[in-house]
Amino acid sequence: MKLKDIEKEEFYRASYGCAGCAAVLAVRLTIKVLGKNSVYVVPANCISTVSCYYPQAPFFVPFTVMAFAATASACSGISAGFKRRGREDIHVVGFSGDGGTADIGIQALSGAIDCGNKFIYICYDNEAYMNTGIQRSGLTPYGATTTTTPSPCFENRPKKDMLRIVAAHDIPYAATACSSYPLDYMEKVKKASQVNGPTYIHILTPCPTGWGFPPDETIEIGRMAVESGVWKLTEFENGEFRTTYTPKRSRPVSEYLAAQARFRHLSPEQVAAIQKEIDAARD
């Protein structure tokens, strides 16, 4: 996919999203790939909160709000209904946050993958419950402060590895992505849409409000995440993991951490420990 191939038409506009919101960007990019022949299930999260209040209607494709724990089960049911009506051509897309995916929605996600209906589950990961005011989730990284892991304490556990969790279900296709690499992400959405079964894409979406950086740095922060090795762009297909993008330059994680208020309390020793873990994972 090339930049010139990106659909010009906007199918998601005029939301109440924060300035610099990468989750909003991820929604826009997703619908540009899938087009008008797609429907969206959005549970309790930032996207539904900034999109769903009548008479506001930023989705120019069919859209429904769903309960927090119910994204994947709703997708599975919609997909089953479309199948019965001979409309398997319609893409059914779930768009859930990190808490809605890795915490409260993980049971339904596991069940729906196991059930095997065709749908695309997109987890947009801003690494905390941002919509309710920055509370920690199962995808909050080690070292981050949130309103429920406030300084001088901080999140003391690593992120759950959702890619490996869904891969353990023998899912036909899964991938990680980052909003700062739109072509990589859009190619993965395209690929997922061609699979006849459940698929999962986990996109890291930096959050200026929750992470504590200026709104015009959203893209740069995402790049730093990938270039520092904090986040990797990978795919899981036919039982194998594959790196889809290797950064041309490598940055120390200290730059990434120093750019965000949520990590500012970390001591040089703690930063060095995080760097050591990244280096170990690379080797």
Provide the 10 A C-beta neighbour count for residue 281: 10
Q: Measured from the CB atom, is 189 or 204 closer to other proteins?
A: 189
Q: Measured from the CB atom, is 149 or 199 closer to other proteins?
A: 199
165 binds other proteins (CB under 8 A): no
Among 22, 24, 29, 75, binds other proteins (CB under 8 A): 75
78 binds other proteins (CB under 8 A): yes
CB of 168 to other proteins, least distance (A): 15
Give the binding range for other proteins (CB under 8 A) out of 14-22, 76-84, 190-198, 246-254. Answer: 76-84
CB of 56 to other proteins, least distance (A): 8
Give the binding range for other proteins (CB under 8 A) out of 13-21, 107-115, 212-220, 231-239. Answer: 107-115
Contact 186, 32 (CB under 8 A): yes
Give the binding range for other proteins (CB under 8 A) out of 113-121, 125-133, 175-183, 229-237. Answer: 113-121
82 binds other proteins (CB under 8 A): yes
Q: What are the structure tokens assigned to 62, written together?
A: 């069919």
Which pairing describes strands 233-237 and 173-178: parallel, antiparallel, or unpaired? antiparallel
Among 6, 10, 81, 258, binds other proteins (CB under 8 A): 81
106 binds other proteins (CB under 8 A): no
155, exposed or middle or buried, with CB in 10 Å at 0-12, 13-18, 19+? buried
112 binds other proteins (CB under 8 A): yes
E strand or H helix that includes residue 25:
helix 22-34
Non-local (6+) Cβ contacts of 101 within 8 A are: 71, 109, 121, 123, 125, 139, 162, 202
CB of 78 to other proteins, least distance (A): 4
Non-local (6+) Cβ contacts of 26 within 8 A are: 122, 124, 179, 185, 203, 205
Q: Measured from the CB atom, is 83 or 242 closer to other proteins?
A: 83
Q: What are the structure tokens assigned to 9, written together?
A: 């038409």
Non-local (6+) Cβ contacts of 23 within 8 A are: 17, 46, 47, 97, 124, 126, 179, 205, 207
Interface residues with other proteins (CB under 8 A)?
36-39, 41, 48, 52-55, 57, 59-67, 69-70, 72-85, 87, 90, 107-108, 110-112, 114-115, 117
